[in-house]
């Protein structure tokens, strides 16, 4: 199912999906983009980030009725945001 979302681009293959979204203006410093990557196992992504000492936040994203998934949010050294997104629950 495809959804139209302003300032959002998604692309991928059968094995990996990438999404890019414009960051909020009020960020300081402004984050130009958020890279969104779908992962099959968000728990494994959390374990790997923890083991590597990568700081992150976890949020539950509920963009629409019947569409709910966890996101692991990381700020990169170049001030981009990286969102690793788990499967729809």
Task: Give the ranges where the chain is alpha helix by DSSP (H).
Answer: 42-52
Q: Report the pLDDT value the prediction gives residue 44, as an integer from 0 to 100.
A: 94
Q: Where are the domains of the chain?
A: 25-76
pTM exceeds cut of 0.85: no
Q: What span, in angstroms and rounded, lies between the C-alpha atoms of 50 and 43?
A: 11
Is the per-residue pLDDT at 1 higher than 50?
Answer: no
N- to C-terminal Cα distance for the chain? 15
Give CB contacts under 8 A, 24+ apart, made by 40-45: 40/87, 41/86, 42/70, 42/72, 42/84, 42/85, 42/86, 42/87, 45/72, 45/84, 45/86
Q: Report the pLDDT value the prediction gives residue 8, as an integer from 0 to 100.
A: 67
């Amino acid at each position: 199912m495809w959804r139209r979302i302003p300032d959002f681009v998604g692309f991928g293959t059968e094995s990996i999906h990438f999404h890019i979204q414009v960051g909020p203006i009020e960020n300081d410093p402004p984050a130009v983009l958020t890279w969104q990557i779908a992962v099959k196992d968000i728990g494994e992504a959390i374990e790997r980030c923890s083991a590597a000492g990568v700081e992150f936040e976890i949020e539950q994203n509920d963009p629409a009725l019947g569409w709910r998934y966890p996101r692991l949010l990381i700020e990169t050294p170049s001030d981009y945001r990286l969102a690793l997104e788990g499967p729809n629950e």
